[in-house]
């Protein structure tokens, strides 16, 4: 069995690995003996991940990466392969999104969200497949997607559309790659706390009106949130499955806490404060 297939550790690339879920996944892979390569635009954040990986006794290469730029993706993979050999697993995790009605988005903002999640995911997958085919080995490509890509999710449109597009790309790619030993998985992720993703929109002030609409439409129903480490467990579970089977799409969502569900957005907000910011 080649390295990186099933439970045998190999080399994993994690885009957006300097923060949040990507950082948590880097640590989990390191504990299991995988060589880890993390990419993102903020090198200081990547260095924080490397320190955490090394604390677990693992090896971590950090390299600047902008997934929206094909040449940057090429340089990133070249560096990964020069350091650790064939990249046997890729977690396409980089994303950004803001909230608000479509008409409030600038053309640049729409472009950035689609270019990062969808186009960047395809750049990264394409480059990874070339490396795996050249080495003649199988491996894993895991795309992070979102509940917002599976059902209408207003005020989140460009990102939601990019996520939906990525899920269809994954279905297509999975069939295209049959016979190569390369597995393709989508991890459809629900609400996760403590990552840049939500804190940015809290700071922008747009999160309140978005949450209110999402509560009214039944998209937010309780106060459960996952930690990045929980989501990272699902990433690792998919990539370390024995090579003869795979998840096609895995969905992880927080469990509703035991007790009464909030009846109004105000009740939901108060319950969130009590649960996650009890001292304020
Ligand atoms: N948090 C949630 O509730 C939630 C829900 C559903 C799905 N997800 C998915 O989970 C994944 C991880 O998100 P997260 O919650 O951990 O948020 P996060 O902390 O904001 O992570 C996103 C990462 O993407 C990187 N990134 C953004 N643009 C990039 C680019 N052009 N090139 C390379 N890297 C780029 C960011 O680093 P730099 O800015 O330094 O480049 C950042 O490290 C995303 O794919 C997101 O869609 C999250």
Specify the pTM. Answer: 0.97
* pLDDT per residue as tens digits for the range 132-175: 999 999 999 999 999 999 999 999 999 999 999 999 999 999 99
Q: How far is the CA of 8 from the centre of ligand 1 (A)?
A: 27
Q: Is residue 190 part of a domain?
A: yes
194 pLDDT exceeds 60? Answer: yes
For position 220, what pLDDT does the model report? 96
Pick the more confident residue, 114 or 198: 114
Which amino acid residue places its CA nearest to atom 43 of ligand 1? 16
Q: Is residue 278 part of a domain?
A: no
Q: Is residue 55 part of a domain?
A: yes
**From CA 129, how far away is CA 27, in angstroms rounded?**
24
Q: How far is the CA of 244 from the centre of ligand 1 (A)?
A: 30
The whole-number average pLDDT for the span 260-264 is 96
Q: How far is the CA of 40 from the centre of ligand 1 (A)?
A: 9
Residue 16: CB within 6 Å of ligand 1? yes
Q: What is the mean pLDDT of the chain?
A: 95
Atom from ligand 1 closest to the CA of residue 200: 20
267 pLDDT exceeds 90? Answer: yes
The whole-number average pLDDT for the span 238-243 is 97
Q: How far is the CA of 96 from the centre of ligand 1 (A)?
A: 6
* Tokens describing residue 4: 């990186």
Among 195, 251, 276, which residue has the most ligand 1 atoms within 8 Å of its CB, making it the best to mutate? 195
* pLDDT per residue as tens digits for the range 92-144: 999 999 999 999 999 999 999 999 999 999 999 999 999 999 999 999 999 99
**Structural domain tally of the chain?**
1
For position 192, what pLDDT does the model report? 96
Q: How far is the CA of 116 from the centre of ligand 1 (A)?
A: 9
Torsion, CA 143, CA 146, CA 151, CA 152, rounded to 10: -120
Q: Is residue 99 part of a domain?
A: yes
Which amino acid residue places its CA nearest to atom 47 of ligand 1? 95
Angle at 44 between CA 82 and CA 232, to 5 degrees: 75
Q: What percent of the chain has pLDDT over 70?
A: 98
For position 205, what pLDDT does the model report? 84
222 pLDDT exceeds 60? Answer: yes
17 pLDDT exceeds 80? Answer: yes
- The pLDDT confidence band at residue 203, using thresholds 50, 70 and 90, is confident
- The pLDDT confidence band at residue 280, using thresholds 50, 70 and 90, is low
Which amino acid residue places its CA nearest to atom 25 of ligand 1? 16
For position 200, what pLDDT does the model report? 82
Residues of the domain holding 58: 11-202+226-261
For position 155, what pLDDT does the model report? 97
Residue 93: CB within 6 Å of ligand 1? yes
CATH of the domain at 91: 3.40.50.720
Residue whose C-alpha is closest to residue 147's, from 108, 91, 187: 187
Q: Is residue 267 part of a domain?
A: no
Residue 88: CB within 6 Å of ligand 1? no
Torsion, CA 218, CA 98, CA 280, CA 191, rounded to 10: 50
- The pLDDT confidence band at residue 198, using thresholds 50, 70 and 90, is confident
Among 69, 95, 149, which residue has the most ligand 1 atoms within 8 Å of its CB, making it the best to mutate? 95
Residue 118: CB within 6 Å of ligand 1? no
Q: Is residue 208 part of a domain?
A: no
Q: Cβ(49)–Cβ(62) under 8 Å?
A: yes
Residue 177: CB within 6 Å of ligand 1? no
1 pLDDT exceeds 90? Answer: no
Q: How far is the CA of 193 from the centre of ligand 1 (A)?
A: 12
Q: Is residue 26 part of a domain?
A: yes
Using DSSP's 3-state secondary structure scheme, residue 17 falls into coil
For position 6, what pLDDT does the model report? 66
Pick the more confident residue, 2 or 215: 215
The whole-number average pLDDT for the span 51-55 is 97
């Amino acid at each position: 069995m080649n390295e990186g297939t099933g439970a045998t550790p190999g080399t994993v690339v994690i885009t957006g690995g300097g923060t949040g879920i990507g950082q948590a996944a880097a640590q989990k892979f390191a504990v299991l003996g995988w060589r880890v390569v993390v990419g993102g635009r903020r090198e200081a954040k990547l260095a924080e991940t490397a320190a955490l990986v090394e604390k677990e006794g693992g090896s971590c290469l950090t390299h600047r990466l902008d997934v929206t730029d094909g040449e940057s993706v090429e340089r990133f993979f070249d560096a990964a392969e020069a350091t650790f050999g064939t990249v046997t697993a890729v977690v396409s995790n980089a994303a950004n999104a803001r909230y608000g009605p479509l008409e409030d988005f600038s053309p640049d903002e729409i472009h950035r969200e689609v270019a990062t999640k969808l186009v960047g995911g395809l750049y990264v997958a394409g480059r990874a497949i070339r490396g795996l085919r050249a080495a003649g080995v199988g491996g894993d490509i895991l795309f992070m997607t979102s509940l917002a890509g599976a059902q209408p999710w207003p005020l989140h449109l460009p990102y939601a559309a990019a996520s939906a597009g990525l899920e269809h790309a994954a279905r297509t790619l999975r069939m295209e790659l049959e016979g190569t030993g390369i597995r393709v998985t989508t991890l459809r992720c629900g609400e996760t706390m403590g990552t840049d993703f939500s804190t940015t929109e809290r700071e922008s002030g747009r999160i309140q009106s978005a949450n209110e609409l999402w509560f009214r439409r039944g998209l937010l129903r309780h106060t459960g949130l996952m930690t990045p480490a929980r989501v990272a467990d699902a990433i690792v579970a998919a990539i370390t499955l024995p090579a003869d089977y795979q998840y096609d799409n895995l969905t992880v969502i927080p469990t509703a806490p035991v007790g009464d569900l909030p009846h109004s957005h105000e009740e939901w907000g108060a319950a969130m404060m009590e649960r996650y910011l009890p001292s304020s």
